[in-house]
Structure formats: structure tokens, C-alpha cells
Amino acid sequence: MELDAITNKVLDAIDTEGFRQEGAYNLRYNGQALCHGDSEYIKIRKKEDRQGIDVYISGEARGEQVHIPVVVSASGMTDVVYNDFYIGEGADIKIVAGCGIHNSGCNETRHDGIHAFHVGKHAKVVYEEKHYGEGEGTGKNVLNPVTQIYLEEGAVFTLDTVQIRGVDSTERRTDVDMGPDSRLYVVEKLMTHDRQTAVSNMEVRMNGNGSSAQIVSRSVAKGTSRQTFHPNAVGNALCKAHIQCDSIIMDGAQVCSIPEIDARNIDAQIIHEAAIGRINTEQLLKLQSFGMSEEEAENVIIDNFLR
């Protein structure tokens, strides 16, 4: 199906793999499924009881991608969607999600994506989620994602989430329950500017022996924006976890980082570290010694920090 220029532009921003109407995909546009496709091993079904889809991924799926982007361009819309993923034992897949809002009006436009992942034994999942806002309107762009992840024995889940720019307000909630020998990698990258606000709450419960989690958060706060990070790693078994929160603070912004570790088993090993600071003068000088202006150097530092 033919997509308009705005939708294509937003899709380019949120789906860096390149959205194509091929294989398994579902494009949600202004609160409705605009187009969708299945593959041999991945079936997407519309929910009967509420907005959203169920995605069934067979254990036979290997190296496949599922693209499920959301575009909202109707100013004033509040779109709430529930997507559930059932990933079969031994599957190896990448799920590319993300939401982009184009708000050309004066009303608040909001999308709440509630995603639940049921990951079977020894399955490997990479989940990429990008959030982005744009538009010439004065209405706020609001994105409040909720992510629930359930990992069975030996499952490996990589959560790569990025908020690029243009999101006035976000409140993220991520909950993870980990079975034996499961592994979790979280990379959360976020930039706020102007008067934007971002809150990220995460709780990772390592319930199975041998489970491990690595949580990395990198953020840049510009203007008078406000950010709060609160990742919590709970060790209920023999497990390992490392939480690292790094933030660059600029202008009149505020960043609050609260890494929490909670060991409830004598064999739990959990570490956290957090750092907030301005762009280092030595970094700027080094890049300026390559011939860059201060502004160019600053952009390169931020770009790489969030890369």
C-alpha cells in the first residue's frame, strides 16, 4: 500500500532497519492497523477484546525480523495499544518497534504502547524501540510505553530503546521476570531538550539461578528538561547484575539518577554505578584540535554518547 510523505518520514526516523511491507509486519496508523503481513513462522493476529495485536513467533524462526511501527499524525489523539508477543522455544529473532508522532495541531497527542513478551526456553530476542516526535504544531507529544518481559530458562533478551527527540513527555515502565540461566541486556538512550520531561522506571527481577542482567542507561538533558531514571535490579536467586547510568547535563536541565539494587539471596551479586556531568572541556578541546568548532564538537560528543 502507498504511504504518504509524513508517514514515510516518521517511519524513516523510528525504523532504522528500513520499514518494508514484506515478511511479518504491522503498521499502526492513527489508532488502526493500516497494513500487516505474516511470514511462515510469524503470525500476527488482531486482538478481539481490545486494541492491539498478538504476535506468535514459532521456535522455527531464525534470523527473521518483525516490524511493528506506530505512526500518529492526528493531533489530539490518545492511542492505547496492547501488543503481546509469544516467542517459541529456540527462536532467534529481532523485533523492530517504535512510535513516531507528527503533531501539526495545538492538542496533546499521545500513544501508550503496552508490550508483553513471553519468551520461551533458549529463545533469543532483540527488541528495538525508537520514539520520536515532530510537527509544526504547539500540541505536546506524549509517549508512555510499558514493557513487560517474561524470560524462561536460558532465554536471552536485548532491549534497545532510544528516544531520539521531539517527545515532550514520557513515562516509561519496564518490568522483567527472569528464569534460570536467562540473560537480559538493556540499553536505554534518551535525549530531552527544551522543557521536556522523561521518567524511566524499571524493575528487573532475577528469579532463576544463573540469571544475569546488564542495564545501561545513557542520556543527554538539554534546555530546561527534566529526567529521572530509576532502574532496580532485584536478586532473588544466584544471579549477577550490573546497572550503569551515565548522563550528560547541559544548560538548565536536571537529571536525577537512582540506580537501586536489592539482593534477596546470599548468592546475588549486583553492582550499580551512576554518573552525571557536563561535557568534559578536554573532550571539546580534543575535537576542536581536529578543526571542529565548539558547537560541532559538542554535537559529535552527544551523537556518539547516544549512539
Alpha carbons within 13 A on the beta-carbon side of 171: 2
Interaction of residue 305 with other proteins, rule CB under 8 A? yes
- Residue 35 or 271 with smaller CB distance to other proteins: 271
Interaction of residue 250 with other proteins, rule CB under 8 A? no
Helix orientation angle between 294-305 and 281-288, rounded to the nearest 10 degrees: 120
- Residue 106 or 275 with smaller CB distance to other proteins: 275
Candidates 9, 282, 298, 299: give the one binding other proteins (CB under 8 A). Answer: 282
- CA torsion, points 284, 289, 290, 292, in degrees to nearest 10? 50
What's the gap between Cα 57 and its chain centre?
20
CA 189/CA 201 separation, integer angstroms: 14
Q: How far is CA 293 from CA 6, 178, 248, 286, 299, in A?
A: 33, 47, 19, 11, 10
- From 23-31, 67-75, 193-201, 277-285, give the range in contact with other proteins by CB under 8 A: 277-285
Sign of CA dihedral 7, 226, 170, 86: positive
Candidates 8, 138, 288, 299: give the one binding other proteins (CB under 8 A). Answer: 288
Helix (H) or strand (E) holding 282: helix 281-288
**Is 5 strand, coil or helix?**
helix
In the complex, what is the shortest distance from the CB of residue 62 to other proteins, in angstroms, rounded to a whole number? 25
Q: Within a 10 A sphere around the Cβ of 214, how many other Cβ atoms? A: 17
Site for other proteins in 160-179 (CB under 8 A): none
* Helix %, strand %, coil % of the chain (to 5): 10, 55, 35
- Residue 32 or 304 with smaller CB distance to other proteins: 304
Candidates 262, 289, 298, 299: give the one binding other proteins (CB under 8 A). Answer: 289
Sketch the per residue contact string, 201 through 240, with other proteins: x for CB under 8 A, - otherwise: -----------------x----------------------
By CB under 8 A, the count of residues binding other proteins is 21
In the complex, what is the shortest distance from the CB of residue 258 to other proteins, in angstroms, rounded to a whole number? 20
- Residue 1 or 290 with smaller CB distance to other proteins: 290
Interaction of residue 300 with other proteins, rule CB under 8 A? yes
Helix/strand/coil (H, E, C) string of 221-239? Answer: ECCCCEEEEEEEEEECCCE
Task: Answer for the pair 248, 222: CB distance below 8 angstroms, yes or no.
Answer: no
Candidates 54, 112, 153, 246: give the one binding other proteins (CB under 8 A). Answer: 246
Candidates 5, 49, 266, 290: give the one binding other proteins (CB under 8 A). Answer: 290
Interaction of residue 8 with other proteins, rule CB under 8 A? no
In the complex, what is the shortest distance from the CB of residue 218 to other proteins, in angstroms, rounded to a whole number? 7
C-alpha cell read off for 183 = 540473560
- Residue 88 or 259 with smaller CB distance to other proteins: 259
Q: Which residues contact 216 (CB under 8 A, 6 or more apart)?
A: 186, 187, 188, 244, 246
CA 33/CA 104 separation, integer angstroms: 22
- Residue 7 or 257 with smaller CB distance to other proteins: 257
- Residue 48 or 282 with smaller CB distance to other proteins: 282
- Residue 138 or 299 with smaller CB distance to other proteins: 299
- For other proteins, the binding residues (CB under 8 A) are 218, 246, 280, 282-283, 285-294, 300-301, 304-307
